[in-house]
Amino acid sequence: MQIDNAIHPADLSSKLAQFWELSGQKIQLIENEYDVSKGSPVFTAQGHYTTRGWTEWTQGFQFGSAILQFDATYDVDFLEMGRQKTLSVMAPHISHIGVHDHGFNNVSTYGNLLRLMQEGRIPTNDWEKNFYELALKISGAVQASRWTPIKDGAGFISSFNGPHSLFVDTIRSCRALVLSHALGHVFQGEGDVKINLLERALHHIKATADYSVFYGEGRDSYDLWGRTAHESIFNVKDGNFRCPNSQQGYSGFTTWTRGLAWAMCGFAEQLEWLTTREDAELELVGGRTRIEAFMLKAATATCDFYIAHTPIDGIPYWDTGAPNLHRLGDYLNRPADPYNDVEPVDSSAAAIGAQGLLRLGNYLTNKGNAEAGKRYWQAGLTVLNTLFDVPYLSTDPAHQGLILHSIYHQPNGWDYVPAGSKIANSESSMWGDYHAREVALYLQRIIRNEPYYTFFNRVAEPRVAGTPDRQPSLPQ
């Protein structure tokens, strides 16, 4: 990447205004035109959202998008859309024992609605508040029940592939566990044994840092600082790690960039969440110093890898080891080309990764490391300056997608390839559009000096003394 150190958040104000105008149009277009009998919308083909029967992991992004649209614009029609769809459709996601996606589906809906109420953005209603809290409590417990023990008393939340499988993207679903814990939920197993949700969340995050992220040292001395594997495979008989693997990337020894972005964002936002907790609460899993150290190392490593292995404009190709990238020549030293003939870019990785860069930059600045903080902060702004403009911002009023050139599953060939093209391009995904809205809301609140946006805003009282309600010290 070529980091633009001169850009400021306010420089993106006009792009944000256009973004939210288009965003509302796209949400309404899907509401009016999408055939709900087909299941959750996943990605577009020829500009229209379609589905792919795998799991219903994108439905929370659909309705969460309407809630974020209200948050950004105060248009109550979108609030009511998100609220009513959450009430009528999302209940099965709370108790879904077969997936690792609770943080995606339920924090994006019930979590956003509870946050808005706690922030005073919507009126407080005790029964409605209790409804959202109960949904989040149970969702976190169900997520935590997908547990595979490994060495030294640790473990991880297994993916839908089975108990042997740790997915790097599941770190972002740890939001469900920490919210359930912070809301005071007591998760119980056989014989009424109490299972600590915070402990499970932190063990999973540590397993992700240890096995999904590579550091070029020790066991990984052959590898690169910050590379990630989509899937880590374990022997469920003895808890031993066996090998890296990939489902949606090229291989276990290359970096699927959306998985990398999930790690960047997941580690950074969990570091922020830790600042709201008392030291004594963290002693159960080794104490604050140890926990923050492994999270910060993983966040820094993954963000460094993104910066080093992404073209100058901040938009990555779908996998940094994709087999035909060499045919593009010196592709890192020029803007990404979504219309090339050999390998797709993935704008959804950029939308997710940009949030990780901004949050890590802000976190480091508030910890007194202004130089490093500014590097990641400016990298995040650089990505968004590209992402919120053509050819990535979808300005076609007939196209249901908001952010173009997203990739779902390149190895399976699921993505739509336009006539005359050799690769998939010009389409959108529900997760890419949602995360673009998340990071746009984050940036807009910065520009307007509104309360700093996190998934846990005022949801987990009481806060540690001194934790800011409003803007922290941002990189200059």
The domains of the chain are located at 9-54+67-72+147-167+188-447
pLDDT reading at 463 higher than 90: no
Tokens coding 181: 């814990």
pLDDT given for residue 55 in this prediction: 72
Higher pLDDT, 13 or 473: 13
- Give 458's pLDDT tier (boundaries 50, 70, 90): confident
Nearest 5°: phi and psi at 187?
-90, 125
What is the pLDDT at residue 464?
41
pLDDT at 116 over 60: yes
Over 388-453, what HEC string results? CCCCCECCCCCCCCCECCCCCCCCCCCCCCCCCCCCCCCCCEHHHHHHHHHHHHHHHHHHHCCCCC
Q: What is the pLDDT of residue 470?
A: 43
For residues 133-152, give the mean pLDDT.
96
CATH number of 9-54+67-72+147-167+188-447, picked from 3.30.70, 1.50.10, 1.10.3470, 1.10.10: 1.50.10
Q: End-to-end CA distance of the chain, in Å?
A: 20
**Could you give the angle at the alpha carbon of 316 between the alpha carbons of 436 and 20, nearest 5°?**
15
Under the banding of pLDDT at 50, 70 and 90, the label for residue 420 is: very high
Instruction: State the pLDDT at residue 210.
Output: 97
Burial of 134 (0-12, 13-18, 19+ CB in 10 A): middle
Has residue 460 got a pLDDT over 70? no
Alpha-carbon distance of 82 to 79, in angstroms, equals: 5
- The answer to whether 475 touches 370, Cβ cutoff 8 Å, is yes
Query: pLDDT-based confidence at 178, cuts 50/70/90?
Result: very high
pLDDT higher than 70, residue 277: yes
% of the chain surpassing 70 pLDDT: 96
pLDDT at 152: 85
**DSSP-based three-state secondary structure for 234:** strand
Find the mean pLDDT for residues 230-242.
97
User: Among 82-91, 280-289, 319-328, which stretch is predicted with the lowest mean pLDDT?
Assistant: 280-289
CB 1 within 8 A of CB 382: yes
- The predicted pLDDT at position 462 comes to 45
Res 465: pLDDT: 37
Is 80 exceeded by the pLDDT of residue 301?
yes
Residue 167 corresponds to which tokens in the numbers above? 């997915």
pLDDT at 219: 87
Band of residue 61 on the pLDDT scale cut at 50, 70, 90 = very high
Q: Does 471 score more than 70 pLDDT?
A: no
Task: Specify the DSSP element, H or E, that contains 187.
Answer: strand 187-188
pLDDT at 147 over 90: yes
pLDDT (0 to 100) of residue 467: 40
* Residue 190 scores a pLDDT above 90: yes
pLDDT, mean of residues 352-364: 98
Average per-residue pLDDT for the chain: 95
Please tell me the predicted confidence (pLDDT) of residue 468. Answer: 40
Distance CA 222, CA 217 (A): 8
Q: How confident is the model at residue 56 (pLDDT cuts 50, 70, 90)?
A: confident
pLDDT in tens, 90-109: 999 999 999 889 999 999 99
Cα separation of 135 and 354, whole Å? 29
Mean pLDDT of 252-263: 98
Residue 473 pLDDT: 54
Asked if 461 and 119 touch (Cβ cutoff 8 Å), the reply is: no
